[in-house]
Amino acid sequence: MRGLGTRARQVLKAGSAAAAVLAALGLFLTACATGGTGARDEGPAGSEAVAKGATTSPSASPGKPPTRVDAVQLVKDDPEVSTSVKRDLKPCVADEYPVDVSYGDLTGGSSDDVVINVMTCGDAVGVGSYVYRREGGRYQNVFKAEEPPVYAEIDRGDLVVTQQLYKKGDLVSYPSSEEVITYGWSATRFTEESRIHNDYSNAVGGTETPAPSS
């Protein structure tokens, strides 16, 4: 119908209003003869183009869901885990354990690797971080860090471990600094790729107590 308006203006500029009406009527009849529906043609045509694009464009197939593990039992049965971590691994509420579990590809194996962080119930301080790789039908411990507070996670295929550091007098919620260590898998083990050290201001959070006035 945008063509019809242009045509009508051209005829009106020529000084013949009657010719404009006839021209408009002719265009309308032509559209009807070819199966058109005027302005409504634009809507379905646009929708069809979008549908075709969605149909023909390649879409990534959904990934296979990870095989879930009993993280608590895996840690308790692991001889590499320290006795103190096993002893303190108890439910916080009912049967809820303070354990974070992540699944992802860290070692290039046929199954997802499992990253387990064991924490304390009260303040969620990480007391142990472990990585398990499936080998021969069983999960093998291929990494551990048990110097609290520690936390491990998967970041774009790398293992990133955050280690918080405290000075004497620091509150648990306000460490003095932290080290962020990135590990990559090399054939049979993790090797350190980078290390970042961050110092925090001890003026934030009220960690320093002002001296009493005399």
> d(Cα 63, Cα 40) in Å, to the nearest integer?
41
What residue spans define the domains of the chain?
2-56, 71-199
The 10s digit of each residue's pLDDT in 154-189 is: 999 999 999 999 888 888 778 899 999 999 999 899
Query: How far apart (Å, rounded) are the C-alpha atoms in residues 15 and 65?
Result: 73
Please indicate, yes or no, whether the overall pTM of this predicted structure exceeds 0.85.
Answer: no
Among residues 159, 174, 79, the alpha carbon closest in space to that of 117 is found at 159
Q: What value does the mean pLDDT take over residues 12-39? A: 43
**Per residue in 142-157, pLDDT tens?**
999 999 999 999 999 9
